[in-house]
Structure 1
Amino acid sequence: MDLLSSVVASLAWPLAIVAVAWMFKDPITTLMDKIRKASFGGVSVEISGKLDDAEKIVQEEAPEQSAASDANNDERKEALQYPPDYVVINEWRSIEIMLRKIAQSRGMTGRAQSRMTIRDLMKMDLIKPTTVALMDDLAAIRNRVAHGEAEVSQADALRFLDLASIVKADLSKHLSPFENE
């Protein structure tokens, strides 16, 4: 009798967990579909959710823009030759360069932080609030990648590239043809 009660006691919690998982299998499955990577030992943040948020901003602003504004094929092919984290960091760097050029052309010198420059350019009605929101999401992703808090898949790097191309297209409207190079 002691053996039976011992077996039942040792199986109670594992069976309870299995029963709960079975009861909530649909929500758990939905959640698992959204998770692309899990780590236990170190801290790891996945960026795909933030990319989803950024893509929603683009779709709400101009649905046709999200489909038509994919980075050109040559740019995408070139990006595939580099590590995904390099693509993310390099694309954000090109956005920062454009921001600096716009700020300098408007007499805004000495701005060290792109976040402050972005806000100032928005106040001047040079950047739309939706573009600012998109840049905020892209900057957050870039920061996670740059600080080793997230791993980037090749697909996510291409998504980042496409979103960065939308931002750069919007910013290029405020640069002269010579500054755009």
Structure 2
Amino acid sequence: MDGYTFATKMVESLVQLVAALAWPTAVVALAFVFKGRLGDLLHRIREVTGPAGTSAKFAEKLEEAREASEASPDDQPRPQITADDPYLDLAKQFPGAAVMRAYQDVEEFIREHLRTRSVANPEAPSNHLNYVRRLAKEGSIPASLMDIYNRLRDTRNAAVHTRAEVSPLEALEYRELSQRFIVSLREALEKSKA
């Protein structure tokens, strides 16, 4: 290999190296230049897609649940949270766990009602989701309550099964929506008995 061929190969290798590093260098340079603004943009992200196609859309799901609750014909008073409520501490420290706890209240209410109905009707569904679906199909609860239930469930799933960021305020709002749902469901079930 003569000097001319060697120099040509070195220049080609250098050009390939510069081409390979162009995008990463540009991205790092832009991140450095706009580092203050990138932090603001990251707070605005509404969806993060993770492994196996999971996506974190907690804020959007919560908004959908809020809208469904507001569209419901039953105007329930807002449940009050007192300063000594342990849920408040849970929401501050572990908002995702607080969402799970609020949904457990919904499940517990449905399970308790299912137990009382299962005694009278052995053909009653064995899980809370199928039970609520059956209540809606029978007309025991309005379709709007079924919609709220589905949205609460979807919102809880976004918080639990993805890496969604849940703020303490969102956890408190989720609990409020869950408790309003329980009150509305209780009233609908009492009306359907009469």
TM-score (normalised: structure 1): 0.64
Tell me which of 97, 101, 118 is aligned to 1:90.
101
Q: What are the superposed Cα offsets for residues 92-126 of structure 1, whole Å, 9 maximum, x if unpaired?
A: 11111111222222235574432211111112322
What secondary structure, in the 3-state scheme, does the structure 2 residue paired with 1:143 have?
helix
Report the structure, 1 or 2, having the larger helix content. Answer: 2
Corresponding residue for residue 26 of structure 1 = none
How many residue pairs match? The answer is 148
CA contact (8 A) 1:69 1:165 kept: no
Aligned partners of 2:55, 2:164: CA distance in 1, in Å?
A: 6
CA contact (8 A) 1:96 1:114 kept: yes
Shift, 1:79, TM fit: 2.2
For the aligned residue pairs, the C-alpha RMSD in angstroms reads: 3.5
Shift, 1:80, TM fit: 2.0
Corresponding residue for residue 82 of structure 2 = 74
Shift, 1:39, TM fit: 7.6
Matched, 1:131 2:145: yes
Corresponding residue for residue 100 of structure 1 = 111
CA contact (8 A) 1:76 1:158 kept: no
For the pair shown, the structure with the greater C-alpha radius of gyration is 2
CA contact (8 A) 2:46 2:60 kept: no
Question: Which runs of no fewer than 5 residues in structure 1 stay unpaired?
Answer: 1-9, 15-30, 176-181
State the one-letter code of the partner of 2:114.
A
Equivalence map 1:22-101=2 (5 Å): 35-36=45-46, 45-62=56-73, 65=75, 69-74=77-82, 77-82=85-90, 83-101=94-112
Tell me which of 152, 158, 169 is aligned to 2:183.
169
Question: Which runs of no fewer than 5 residues in structure 2 stay unpaired?
Answer: 1-21, 27-40
CA contact (8 A) 1:50 1:137 kept: yes
Shift, 1:86, TM fit: 1.6
Shift, 1:84, TM fit: 1.0
State the one-letter code of the partner of 1:113.
N
